[in-house]
């Protein structure tokens, strides 16, 4: 009989194939047994969006955001619905907040630029990084302690206080400040009792303190996330053992198994590992759940990657970056150097030297400081990287006030 993980995979495949009737049948079959399973709710919302049923999609996406305020699929879906209704301001707000939570997502940045251009009547530069986005970036680079004060400042004027507070709670947790993480999670739950990560963090903090009142928190989390995968990863990150809830993930009998001879679903443990990385790297790109232009970019990148080795690709971008640098086209040069760093972290020192040189020539551009900081972080020089990040923040603040 199929596992819940396998059934979700069948729903995703059916949506990708345009077999919306089968996808809806499978998803609704799951939700009859697990009516609050947030992953399946998100898939059903995506299906309704692609079928043009905006009202149903919006209802599901708003529920999903209560469970997972960091969910890019839900925020992107709500943005596309708002844009379709002609409300560019609301659409831009959703995409902007999604980009703050995932500041390394180039697709989200492109959507923000596109909507800004429509609203202002001209093509604008790259979206500026807010304090929330900078805090997320530091958290993703393993600098949880440095991220905490930025989250606290960002919380004062947050577009979505729950999303920022959740980032703060995760930063405190990763900085081994378990009690404080639990307190922030408790405040989140007072306003939004359905927040899954807050439930898991509050339960984890209670376990770390030796408290016994875990079962109600974990049972609530289980209903939103059957099997408690999110809670399990949070507990594991602190060396804690997730206590059993006494609840079982039973497979719906009426949900059909994959057709005979079909490709097996990916190992659930591999998916869990990817999700664990997402928890620790909040700015990483989302895992294929993008609403607009689904699949096209990934297949193009896959074909490009198959034709070149990482080292060769990095060398190509380095050469192109130096060429742009000689023409004093710093924005284009920085883009090429960043591609080189992504293709091969071994070129970090070359990228750092180029980025610092450009930053001296163009001190008002915070993107160059970010590039230098990322290169230094890749080299393991975290304190020096932090200095560049702070300079980027100062430069951005001057640009904003001028």
Confidence (pLDDT) at 367: 83
State both tokens at 166: 């959740």
CA 68 to each of CA 25, 53, 93, 117, 179: distance values in angstroms, whole numbers, following the listed order: 24, 22, 17, 29, 22
d(CA 217, CA 380): 38
Alpha-carbon dihedral 188, 100, 117, 46, rounded to 10 degrees: -70
Confidence (pLDDT) at 165: 96
Q: Are 204 and 234 in contact (CB under 8 A)?
A: yes
Q: Are 36 and 199 in contact (CB under 8 A)?
A: no
Give CA 99 to chain center in angstroms. 9
DSSP for 188-214? HHHH-TT-HHHHHHHHHHHHHTT-STT
Going from the first residue of the chain to its last (402 residues), give the mean pLDDT of each consecutive group of 10, the final group possibly shorter: 84 90 93 93 93 92 96 94 89 92 87 84 59 91 93 88 96 96 96 96 92 82 92 93 65 50 42 34 28 32 39 68 68 83 81 79 81 82 80 76 60
Q: Hunting for tokens 């902007």 — which residue is that? A: 96
Domains of the chain (ranges; CATH) run: 129-245+268-283 (1.25.40.10), 306-401 (1.25.40)
295: number of Cβ within 10 Å: 10
- Give the total residue count for the chain: 402
d(CA 83, CA 30): 31
CB contact set of 157 (below 8 Å; sequence gap of 6+): none
Q: Is the pTM of this model over 0.85?
A: no
Between CA 379 and CA 196, with CA 288 as vertex, the angle to 5 degrees is 85
Confidence (pLDDT) at 383: 74
Confidence (pLDDT) at 104: 82
Confidence (pLDDT) at 365: 82
Confidence (pLDDT) at 38: 95
320: number of Cβ within 10 Å: 17
The dihedral through the CA atoms of 352, 109, 191, 65 has a sign that is negative
State both tokens at 259: 């057709």
């Amino acid at each position: 009989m199929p596992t819940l993980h396998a059934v979700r995979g069948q729903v995703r495949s059916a949506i990708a194939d345009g077999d919306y009737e089968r996808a809806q049948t499978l998803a609704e079959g799951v939700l009859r047994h697990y009516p609050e399973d947030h992953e399946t709710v998100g898939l059903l919302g995506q299906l309704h969006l692609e079928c043009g049923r905006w009202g149903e999609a919006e209802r599901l996406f708003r529920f999903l955001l209560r469970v997972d305020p960091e969910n890019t699929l839900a925020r992107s879906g709500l943005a596309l619905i708002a844009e379709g209704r002609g409300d560019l301001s609301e659409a831009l707000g959703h995409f902007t907040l999604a980009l703050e939570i995932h500041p390394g997502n180039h697709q989200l940045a492109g959507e923000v630029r596109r909507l800004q251009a429509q609203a202002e009547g001209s093509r604008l530069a790259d979206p500026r990084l807010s304090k929330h986005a900078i805090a997320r970036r530091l958290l993703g680079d393993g600098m949880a302690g440095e991220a905490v004060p930025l989250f606290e400042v960002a919380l004062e004027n947050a577009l979505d206080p729950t999303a920022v507070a959740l980032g703060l709670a995760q930063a405190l947790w990763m900085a081994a400040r378990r009690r404080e993480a639990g307190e922030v999670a408790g405040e989140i739950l007072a306003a939004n009792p359905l927040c899954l990560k807050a439930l898991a963090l509050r339960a984890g903090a209670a376990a770390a303190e030796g408290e016994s009142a875990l079962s109600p928190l974990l049972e609530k989390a289980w209903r939103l996330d059957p099997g408690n995968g999110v809670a399990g990863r949070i507990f594991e990150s602190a060396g804690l053992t997730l206590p059993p809830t006494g609840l079982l993930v039973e497979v719906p009998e009426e949900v059909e198994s994959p057709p005979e001879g079909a490709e097996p679903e990916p190992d659930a443990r591999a998916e869990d590992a990817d999700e664990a990385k997402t928890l620790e790297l909040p700015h990483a790109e989302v895992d294929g759940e993008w609403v607009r232009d689904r699949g096209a970019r990934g297949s193009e990148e896959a074909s490009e990657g198959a034709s070149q080795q990482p080292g060769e690709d990095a060398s190509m971008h380095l050469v192109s970056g130096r060429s742009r640098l000689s023409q004093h086209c710093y924005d284009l040069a920085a883009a090429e150097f960043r591609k080189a760093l992504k293709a091969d972290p071994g070129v970090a020192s070359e990228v750092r030297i180029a980025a610092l040189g450009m930053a001296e020539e163009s001190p008002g551009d915070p993107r160059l400081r970010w590039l230098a900081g990322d290169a230094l972080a890749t080299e393991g020089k975290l304190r020096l990287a932090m200095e560049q990040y702070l300079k980027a923040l100062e430069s951005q603040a001057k640009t904003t006030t001028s």
